[in-house]
Amino acid sequence: MVGAVDWAEAARLAVLAERAGCSGLVFTETGQTPWMSMAAAATAAPSLSLSTGVAVAFPVSPTVMASLAWELAGNTGGRFRLGLGSQVRAHVERRYGAEFDPPGPRLRDYVLAVKDVLAAFAGERRLDHQGPYWSLTLLPDMWRPRRHEFGDIKVDISAVGPWMTRMAGEVADGVQVHPLHSRRYLKERLVPAVAEGAARAGRPVEDVDLLVPVFIAPGDTPEERAALVERTRMQIAFYGSTKNYAFQFDDLGWEGTSARLNDRLKAGDLAGMAAEITDEMLDEFAVVALWDEVADRLVERYAGLAATVTSYLTFEDLAAHPDHLGRWAEIARAVRAAGGTA
């Protein structure tokens, strides 16, 4: 997973990932859009697959979003998939100046609009999307992008709750799973909801990929693991302070954790937030293990569930410990050899 970096750094990280035997990079969108960095990465390491995890949908026209996806797919030989998310109301309305409500139905229409534009780009049908939030009917030949053979572009969405995960099963090609997740959540909440949506659309649930970011904190001693463990503890606490994610703790018997995290966040008590995340919680929400055990733990946890697993913290670790590249490479290759992608 790659955050906000300049183009040269994006290219350097891509080369490292390719050398390590990873299958690809997932680019987030926070204070910087992902598109230019992805182009730099694709040029530097042409064998890698790339995806957005996730691009913020509503501030961007579906036609523009489809155009970006089309261009990236064409220039990477089809090694691109588009991950979309709604973001939250405050950012969409007050940072981007875009419309937000209702986020679920609006994102559904957005995904279908992007797919209709991509189909029109590919010449499969004329552009005629008539949805509740977007109406797109004009695509003159002189404005149609150049054709290429990689038009079957996967469109994924970030989804956590039941409505959004059902919708993903109905209209998306994949679910960008939230980093704060347990195996119990995947098996008892997410997969059944995706299956329900897929059944509603008359397609098998296997048509919907689960793309799973994972907190991985490896090390052969507690001291070696300490920095990544604390970083993981803090990130889990930050995500867990969101009240809509309280069920992640409640389902596992830790009722009230999210409320306590939110209280500490409001008080500016970051150390207190991290202290709320116990070692038992780490075992549920992260993979903390010896270097040689990490790949087996990933395969055990996600085999039969995830289409891909993405390491959330690898590049942070490499920034502090460049000599760890070989160890991360062993993990990536072992997971891929077991039948998955890393």
Q: Are residues 68 and 164 in the same domain?
A: yes
Say if residue 330's pLDDT is above 70: yes
Q: Which of 253, 269, 289 is the last residue in one of the domains?
A: 289
Q: Are residues 178 and 97 in the same domain?
A: yes
Q: Are residues 98 and 215 in the same domain?
A: yes
pLDDT at 342: 45
Q: Are residues 14 and 57 in the same domain?
A: yes
Say if residue 340's pLDDT is above 90: no
Q: Are residues 210 and 269 in the same domain?
A: no
Is 138 exposed, middle or buried, given 0-12, 13-18 or 19+ CB atoms closer than 10 A?
exposed
pLDDT at 283: 97
pLDDT digits (tens, 9 = 90+) for 113-166: 999 999 999 999 999 999 999 999 999 999 999 999 999 999 999 999 999 999
pLDDT exceeding 90 applies to what percent of the chain?
97
Q: Are residues 244 and 154 in the same domain?
A: no
CATH classification at residue 321: 3.20.20.30
Give me the long-range contacts of 141-148 (CB less than 8 A, separation at least 24): 144/120, 145/67, 145/70, 145/71, 145/74, 145/121, 146/74, 147/121, 147/122, 147/123, 148/70, 148/73, 148/74
Q: Average pLDDT over the chain, rounded to whole? A: 96
Q: What's the pTM value of the predicted model, to 2 decimals?
A: 0.94
In 199-261, DSSP assigns E strands to 209-218
Q: Are residues 192 and 273 in the same domain?
A: no
SS3 state at 69: helix
pLDDT at 29: 96
| 203 CB-near residues (< 8 Å, 6+ apart) | none
The domain in which residue 311 lies consists of: 7-220+291-337
pLDDT at 339: 74
Average pLDDT over residues 160-187: 97
> Of 8-17, 52-61, 202-211, 332-341, which gets the smallest average pLDDT?
332-341
Q: How many domains does the chain have?
A: 2
